[in-house]
Amino acid sequence: MCVSLKSDLAKLLKRSGHERFLLLESMFLLGAIRAAVLCVPFRLIARLLRLTPRAAPQRLPPDMAPASTVGWAVAAAASRTPWQSTCLVQALCGLVMLRHRGIPSTLCLGVAKEERALEPVSAHAWLRCGGEILIGSGGHERFTLLSMFSWRLSARQHKAYGGSEQ
């Protein structure tokens, strides 16, 4: 057995049952979302996920730990997938997982001009929960924000998170 695999297995066994479940959920969703991103236009993915082009309320959840744990699980699973789990795939995965838990989040899409690169423009996606970036924080500040997407909150969630518009 490869040293990396042994190390990963040892780390997995030290995790709680809840964390192991989140890792499995992340792995499954990363694969499904990767396939969707490759085969389906983003506008249809946004429609299927019922995303609206706006930001979620900026107020942080009362307990940020569940959101942070989802961010950790997505990043940990993404680094071990046999396919490429791009920033968009990871951000969409985190958004779906947070939505399932009733935690509002915002998918942010941005672009940056590259001075000395083969591609003159690069794109990046990151996931924000309240004011914190859970997924895709590395270098996001150099990207110009183009679009934000979130899912529509229920009236109860909207009130709990202090949103002023529905």
| H-helix or E-strand spanning residue 108 | strand 106-113
What are phi and psi for residue 164, nearest 5 degrees?
-105, -15
Q: Using a pLDDT cut of 70, give the percent of the chain over it.
A: 79
| Each residue's pLDDT tens digit, 4-43 | 656 655 566 576 888 999 999 999 999 999 999 999 999 9
Question: Is there a contact between 152 and 120 (Cβ–Cβ < 8 Å)?
Answer: no
Segments of the chain with pLDDT less than 50: 1, 164-166
